[in-house]
Amino acid sequence: MSDQPPSFIPATPEGLARAASLLRAGECVALPTETVYGLAADALDAKAAAKVFAIKGRPLIDPLIVHVPDLEALRRVAEPDPRLDLLAPLWPGPLTVVLRRRQEVPDVVTAGLGTVAVRIPAHPVFREVLRLSGLALAAPSANPFGYVSPTRAAHVRDSLGARCPWIVDGGPCEHGVESTIVDLSAPGRVRLLRPGPVPLERLRALLGEVRLPDRATDQSAAQAAPGMLDRHYSPATRIRLFPAGGSPGPVGPREAVMFVRRRPGQSGPDVFHLSESGSVEEAARNLFDLLRRLDARGHPLIHAELADPAGIGAAFNDRLTRAAAR
């Protein structure tokens, strides 16, 4: 860690070469992915990975996702699984799989589990840094533990500040919510651990039966995935949810209202919407940015509309519900 103010590294060939050499030297660098910004470090260097936990204030029991360029590189950190071939149409992309780990992955990355979470990201900037560094990169979302994930370079600077001295600016993230996570570590069983941009419907079409997270065990079972904790992704401001297409209850003075799409007749200084075009994809892309902006405005309460749960709407509702949990 360092005391120097964070500096944005442009996503130019020189900038990405610099990011790759910092990573090779065991430093942490924030990088854009197609989901959210990640705080990357060499996944096979225990010391570098430990810095990620320190910067985020993340408990050591919460394992990191390892990012690799392709299936060949994936096989160097995880045990092969025949179901990976079925998922090939989704890679590179916003899908993370949990597999049996290989011993090469340090314990700090997997939190000592027998499994490792792996993902092949699609973002051209992240892919170029993978290629230039030749590393597998451990990268959690680049935010303080428990807070809203960053979907723009400025979000990383605003919430990690000098703790994260290098941030590659790749513009806003395409999906705006974190990757879908599926657990393939038990033979013959597939379990969704976190909904994301790859919808459950798509996974079922490729894999057959996919079980849903078991809330009872997942809350207690030593945090199988803290992203699944009831309270996570939380702004400081209280949030009250209202149903898709419905109306907020009584709105008090200075309370904000956040609609998924523009509503005719609904306007005012404290009324906001997430999508101009009306698509849930656009709403998901803007969700964390608007939550951060509203959090800075000091509203006593945010009334937030849930989305239609089809497609990425399930992930949108998941994050909003956790942000609202107290």
Q: Return the number of the residue (256 or 315) whose C-beta is nearest Mg ion.
A: 315
CB of 289 to Mg ion, least distance (A): 16
End-to-end alpha carbon distance in the chain: 32
Q: Does 139 bind ligand TXA (CB under 6 A)?
A: yes
Q: Return the number of the residue (96 or 133) whose C-beta is nearest ligand TXA.
A: 96
Q: Return the number of the residue (33 or 141) whose C-beta is nearest Mg ion.
A: 141
Residue 8 burial class via C-beta count within 10 angstroms: exposed 0-12, middle 13-18, buried 19 and up: middle
Residue 222 burial class via C-beta count within 10 angstroms: exposed 0-12, middle 13-18, buried 19 and up: exposed
Other CB atoms within a 10 A radius of the CB of residue 59 amount to: 12
Residues that bind Mg ion (rule: CB under 5 A) add up to a total of 1
Phi, psi angles (nearest 5°) of residue 303: -90, 120
β-sheet with 65-67: strand ranges across: 7-10, 166-169, 29-31, 38-42, 137-138, 65-67, 115-119, 95-100, 180-183, 191-194
Q: Return the number of the residue (31 or 257) whose C-beta is nearest ligand TXA.
A: 31
Among 35, 96, 110, 141, binds Mg ion (CB under 5 A): 141
Q: Give counts: helices (H), strands (E), the chain.
A: 11, 14
Residues 6+ apart with CB under 8 A from 92: 69, 70, 120, 121, 122, 127
**From residue 162 to residue 201, what is the string marking binding to ligand TXA with x (rule CB under 6 A)?**
----------------xx-x-----------x--------
β-strands 302-305, 239-242 pairing: parallel
CB of 191 to ligand TXA, least distance (A): 10
Q: Does 81 bind ligand TXA (CB under 6 A)?
A: no
The string of DSSP codes covering 140-165 is: -BSSSTTSPPPSSHHHHHHHHGGGS-
**From residue 26 to residue 65, what is the string marking binding to ligand TXA with x (rule CB under 6 A)?**
-------x-xx-x-----------------------xxxx
Q: Return the number of the residue (141 or 234) whose C-beta is nearest Mg ion.
A: 141
Q: Return the number of the residue (193 or 307) whose C-beta is nearest ligand TXA.
A: 193
- Stretch touching ligand TXA by CB under 6 A, among 79-87, 111-119, 163-171, 265-273: 111-119
Q: Return the number of the residue (63 or 165) whose C-beta is nearest ligand TXA.
A: 63
- Stretch touching ligand TXA by CB under 6 A, among 113-121, 254-262, 271-279, 310-318: 113-121
Task: Point out which residues pair with 167 in neighbouring strands.
Answer: 8, 30
Binding site for ligand TXA (CB under 6 A): 33, 35-36, 38, 62-65, 96, 98, 110, 113, 115-117, 119, 139-141, 178-179, 181, 193, 224-227
Task: Summarize as ranges the residues that interact with Mg ion (CB under 5 A).
Answer: 141
